[in-house]
Amino acid sequence: MTKRIYLSPPHMSGREKEFVNEAFDSNWIAPLGPMVDAFEREMADYIGIKHSTALASGTAALHLALILAGVSQGDEIICSSFTFSASANAIVYQGARPVFIDSDEKTWNIDPDLLSEFLEDASKRGKLPKAVIAVDLYGQCADYDRIVPLCEEYGIPLIEDAAEALGASYKKKMAGTFGKMGVLSFNGNKIITTSGGGMLLSDDKELIEKARFLATQARDPAPHYEHSEIGYNYRMSNILAAVGRGQLTVIEERVSAKRKIFDKYFNELKDLSGISFMPEAPYGRSNRWLTCIVVEPSAFGATREDIRLALEEENIESRPLWKPMHLQPVFKDCRMIGGSVSEELFEKGLCLPSGTNMSAEEQTRVIEIIRKRYNEGRKVRSEM
């Protein structure tokens, strides 16, 4: 069997060992430490934000962001439906209720028109949501020139879930900087990884200091263990921060590599009728975390599931686009605004292998299998 090709596997840049050795040599292997401080500073500098705190996961960062936004039992929180469940799970951790909003077909991110209509109506009803979570899906920023003023107009804190979008930008400003708080993930499948980790970003020093306090079991300053608030064990370890520092040195190379992967798929598949690609909005630069296609079965001669199975037969991993949250059994009772755009994307969309360590030959194999499936579909049609 040929080596399996994965969707977006983690891989080292080569510089991690240097930092990890430094951490071992200094005997800082506990949570916190100088590597964590340096990783936070270097990431904040790269992104162009004032403050950051490294955490155990992107989910932990989202949870703390909601706590810091004052979210509690019974509050309504706006969230893009077309996302990974982590964006919405954190809302439920706080006992709050997600209100899902459909995607804009031009960006696949939260539809600003639907958001505007919802907020106008909510304001009239006197029941504004407590926060808005905008997700930068598959590495593309949401339309912040529309979203930020809306949140400001109604006085609602914006949380930017940039878990998939490190290195992307919107009008030259980096992903993660648009909300009151921004969230990053360094999970194994992300553009850079600490094997597991996340970060909370903000220009507000007090918010990040409070996040750090909550993430270390909310320990009050005292020689003994004193607690006047409920805390969490959400901090990143010094060793993992060392891995993160090594990875961060190659972030720009990774974005270029991801974009190159997208370009090759695009150039070698664009002539097939029935295939389209995730659009890149003119306002920014996507990090093209995963190359995503949409397959129109009537024109292509096969469904996205046919393609997925054809790839799987050749030991190649691909995956349907995110199943929208409003279609998930666990969120079936939540309110949904619109829905047809994300439903269609889920039905017809597929993420192709996009690992930055995938060779050009491996990518050619993926392309050939998709082309073969297309030709088989055409043959069947011409025989009918």
Ligand X SMILES: Cc1ncc(COP(=O)(O)O)c(C=O)c1O
Counting contacts by CB under 6 A, is residue 57 touching ligand X?
A: yes
Counting contacts by CB under 6 A, is residue 86 touching ligand X?
A: yes
Strands (E), 102-212: 131-135, 158-161, 169-170, 173-174, 181-185, 198-202
Counting contacts by CB under 6 A, is residue 52 touching ligand X?
A: no
SS3 assignment, position 47 = helix
Counting contacts by CB under 6 A, is residue 179 touching ligand X?
A: no
Counting contacts by CB under 6 A, is residue 83 touching ligand X?
A: yes
Residue 294 phi/psi, 5-degree rounding, is: -120, 130
Q: Which amino acid is at 309?
A: L
The stretch among 22-30, 51-59, 271-279, 300-308 that binds ligand X (CB under 6 A) is 51-59
Closest CA to 281 of 55, 22, 108, 120: 108
Alpha helices in the chain (DSSP H): 16-25, 34-47, 58-68, 85-93, 112-125, 144-154, 205-215, 238-248, 251-269, 297-300, 304-313, 340-348, 360-383
Q: Which of residues 183-212 bind ligand X (CB under 6 A)?
A: 185, 187, 198
- What would the x/- binding string for ligand X be over residues 316 to 335, using CB under 6 A? --------------------
Closest residue to bound ligand X by CB:
58
Per DSSP, 101 falls in state E
How far is it, in rounded angstroms, from Cα 121 to Cα 77? 15
Q: Minimum distance between the CB of residue 197 and ligand X, rounded to whole angstroms?
A: 7
- What would the x/- binding string for ligand X be over residues 230 to 269, using CB under 6 A? ----------------------------------------
> Which one of residues 164, 202, 261, 265 is an interface residue with ligand X (CB under 6 A)?
164
Counting contacts by CB under 6 A, is residue 110 touching ligand X?
A: no
The stretch among 52-60, 148-156, 240-248, 297-305 that binds ligand X (CB under 6 A) is 52-60
Pick between residue 35 and residue 137 the one whose CB is nearest to ligand X.
137
Pick between residue 104 and residue 164 the one whose CB is nearest to ligand X.
164
The sign of the CA dihedral 110, 265, 272, 169 is positive
> Which one of residues 52, 53, 81, 87 is an interface residue with ligand X (CB under 6 A)?
87
- What would the x/- binding string for ligand X be over residues 115 to 154, using CB under 6 A? --------------------x-------------------
Read off the tokens for 97: 């209720």
> Which one of residues 44, 66, 163, 201 is an interface residue with ligand X (CB under 6 A)?
163
Closest CA to 140 of 214, 53, 82: 82
Q: What is the 3-state secondary structure (H, E, C) of 216-243?
A: ECCCCCCCCCCCCCCCCECECEHHHHHH
Residues that bind ligand X (CB under 6 A): 57-59, 83-84, 86-87, 135, 161, 163-164, 185, 187, 198
